[in-house]
């Protein structure tokens, strides 16, 4: 099968993903093989490719926002019929036995595996998935629209939940890429006013089109104090500015898996019971709840499609903030 293989992390400008032939994988116990139709391009993929996340499998096929068809089931695999359209997300498997899994926090599992990082992912014609961690894709979403929902959508939804934002509240978004342009649609459904701070004029325009009540530069102060804020950009220097925008008792959520160094800041920014918390992965319940809500709204995703062989270009375009909405790889047939 054709796949984009990462043999060693390197800057995306050096085109480290090799478009090549690799063996078609076989599903094991409780696994399914999915023929990939579309795979979303996520900033986490960029962190994997460039080595900002330390390598755990080498070589590896990145990609964890997969939409495709169930082609084959391994022993014991019976949850999905052959031909079913499914989604494969970041959390490939959790052990189910650690203290976190037993408490319902499988996103914090002690022994997890992750699609496109510790196991091969969806920048390929086929991917293997643990069937218990696979999602049925709701009707009403085309493959291109559905792919970004599987990480950008789910993680943005978890960030919204962790922010504690309530109807009538004021919520700040720092960075307005794939996750934010989905999350704002949920926030508006919840009657939340969104204030979007982002450096790119195209992203500011998209935020306004999707209902933001204010847009400004990344470090600009919003006109009113915020009840909560989410930083989607992987830039630690935003943290002091976002804290300064919060009211007393406000919550700042860090929505990325990797972030550059956070500079020191005066305690006064954190005082008055402001809170900083991170988002780590997601639970299956997050994914199930979000996909159900996404179908009800319905969420509409702005996408730019690249052929699989141009995965390096897609990631480079993402790195340079040149995509409005989400990038998606189309697997050539």
CATH number of 2-152+282-289+301-330: 3.90.180.10
**pLDDT for the residue 113:** 98
Calpha distance 4→312 (Å, rounded) = 9
Contact between 144 and 328 (Cβ < 8 Å): yes
Q: Where are the alpha helices (DSSP H) in the chain?
A: 43-50, 99-102, 143-146, 152-163, 178-189, 201-209, 238-244, 284-296, 311-319
Interatomic CA distance for residues 212 and 193, integer angstroms: 7
CB atoms within 10 A of CB 242: 27
pLDDT value of position 332: 78
Looking at residue 333, its pLDDT comes to 60
Closest among 21, 13, 104, 82 to 308, alpha carbons compared? 21
pLDDT of residue 116: 98
CB-count burial class (<10 Å; 0-12, 13-18, 19+) for 83? exposed
Cα–Cα distance for residue pair 173/34, rounded to 1 Å? 34
Map out the domains of the chain as residue ranges. Answer: 2-152+282-289+301-330, 153-278
Taking the alpha carbons at both ends of the chain, their separation in whole angstroms is 11
- The CATH-assigned architecture of domain 153-278 is 3-Layer(aba) Sandwich (3.40)
pTM score, two decimals?
Answer: 0.95
Q: pLDDT tens per residue, the chain (333 residues)?
A: 999 999 999 999 999 999 999 999 999 999 999 999 999 999 999 999 999 999 999 999 999 999 999 999 999 888 999 999 999 999 999 999 999 999 999 999 999 999 999 999 999 999 999 999 999 999 999 999 999 999 999 999 999 999 999 999 999 999 999 999 999 999 999 999 999 999 999 999 999 999 999 999 999 999 999 999 999 999 999 999 999 999 999 999 999 999 999 999 999 999 999 999 999 999 999 999 999 999 999 999 999 999 999 999 999 999 999 999 999 999 976
Length of the chain equals 333
């Amino acid at each position: 099968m054709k796949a984009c293989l990462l043999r060693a992390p390197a800057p995306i400008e050096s085109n480290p993903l090799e478009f090549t032939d690799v063996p078609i994988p076989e599903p094991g116990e409780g696994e399914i093989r999915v023929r990939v139709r579309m795979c979303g391009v996520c900033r986490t993929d960029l962190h994997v490719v460039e080595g900002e996340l330390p390598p755990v499998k080498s070589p590896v096929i990145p990609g964890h926002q997969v939409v495709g068809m169930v082609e084959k089931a391994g022993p014991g695999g019976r949850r999905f019929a052959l031909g079913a359209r499914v989604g494969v997300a970041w959390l490939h498997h959790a052990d189910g036995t650690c203290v976190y899994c037993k408490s319902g926090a499988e996103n914090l599992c002690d022994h997890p595996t992750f699609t496109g990082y510790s196991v091969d992912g969806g920048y390929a014609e086929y991917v293997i998935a643990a069937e218990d961690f696979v999602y049925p894709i709701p009707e009403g979403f085309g493959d291109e629209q559905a792919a970004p929902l599987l990480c950008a959508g789910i993680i943005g939804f978890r960030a919204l939940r962790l922010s504690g934002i309530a109807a009538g509240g004021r919520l700040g978004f720092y960075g307005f890429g794939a996750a934010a342009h989905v999350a704002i649609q949920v926030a508006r459904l919840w009657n939340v006013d969104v204030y979007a701070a982002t450096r790119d004029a195209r992203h500011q325009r998209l935020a306004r089109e999707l209902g933001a009540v204010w847009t400004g530069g990344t470090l600009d102060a919003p006109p009113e104090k915020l009840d909560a804020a989410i930083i989607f950009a992987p830039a630690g220097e935003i943290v002091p500015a976002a804290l300064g925008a919060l009211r007393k008792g406000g919550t700042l959520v860090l929505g990325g898996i990797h972030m550059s160094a956070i500079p020191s800041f005066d305690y006064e920014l954190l005082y008055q019971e402001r809170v900083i918390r991170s988002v780590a992965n997601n639970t299956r319940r997050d994914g199930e709840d979000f996909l159900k809500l996404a179908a009800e709204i319905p969420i509409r995703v702005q996408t730019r499609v690249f052929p699989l062989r141009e995965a390096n270009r897609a990631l480079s375009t993402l790195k340079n903030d040149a995509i409005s909405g989400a990038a998606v790889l189309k697997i050539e047939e």
